[in-house]
Chain A
Amino acid sequence: QKEVEQDPGPLSVPEGAIVSLNCTYSNSAFQYFMWYRQYSRKGPELLMYTYSSGNKEDGRFTAQVDKSSKYISLFIRDSQPSDSATYLCAMSTPGTYKYIFGTGTRLKVLA
């Protein structure tokens, strides 16, 4: 079993839809949770970062962490064609600099 599981998609939604992206993990020591967006032929860029449990909102993006279920989510409201990209979750343990990434979910927002 992989430490971090993420559905690869692709996920196609119409413009304006609410998108839900998810990852599950098995290592209960993870405390730092991140979401990255990666456009084709580009490096990943950090979208959201959460420490421990709870929600975090930034504009149209909301990140949720449920440590009891070992489940994290990224919600995108009012999705736009420019949101079409691959979304990667990543996790890390305090005191280390080892990051474990999900395989990424490819999202396509149709105009």
Chain B
Amino acid sequence: EAQVTQNPRYLITVTGKKLTVTCSQNMNHEYMSWYRQDPGLGLRQIYYSMNVEVTDKGDVPEGYKVSRKEKRNFPLILESPSPNQTSLYFCASLNGSSYEQYFGPGTRLTVT
């Protein structure tokens, strides 16, 4: 089954404690992306990757890092999380020929 998986699905942490949210896709897509979703603000793109070792900033990259060392994986790293990063995070992968994005189930992060 074609899918995008994220882990963990729920995470509560404290300010300043580094964390990583993993994302993996099994569709051999070159493009992957991270979004955060907040009430009233909708989905906003954090980072995206066009291929292995190729990443670029989206609209809200501050406070986040990404890496793309393998085609199937695209982890999101918060080096020093702050309460304003409390949000619902989605990973997505894209069929580059059709621009169809497939989203993961989401990770709800709370930073206290």
A43 touches B105 (CB 8 A): yes
Residues of A within 8 A of B31 (CB): 97
| B102 near A46: Cβ-Cβ < 8 Å | yes
Q: Cβ of B50: which chain A residues have Cβ within 8 Å of it?
A: 97
Contacts between chains A and B (CB distance < 8 A), count = 58
A102, B94: Cβ atoms closer than 8 Å: no
Judge whether B42 and A104 touch: CB under 8 Å. Answer: yes
Q: Which residue of A lies closest to B99 (CB)?
A: A32
Secondary structure at the A interface, as helix, strand, loop or mixed, is strand
Whether B99 contacts A49 by the Cβ 8 Å rule is yes
- Cβ of A45 within 8 Å of any chain B Cβ, yes or no, is yes
Q: How many residues of A contact B (CB 8 A)?
A: 24
Q: Which residues of B contact A21 (CB under 8 A)?
A: none
* Residues in A neighbouring B33, C-beta threshold 8 A: 97, 99
Known: A34-B99, A49-B98, A99-B33. A43 touches B45 (CB 8 A): no
CA distance A9 to B106 in the complex (A): 23
Q: Which residues of B contact A49 (CB under 8 A)?
A: 98-100
What 1/0 mask marks residues of chain B from 85 to 105 whose CB sits below 8 Å from any chain A CB?
000001010100011111111
Give bound CA distance, A41 to B43, whole Å. Answer: 14
Give the chain B neighbours of A46 by CB distance below 8 A: 100-102
Give chain A nearest CB distance to B55 CB in angstroms.
11
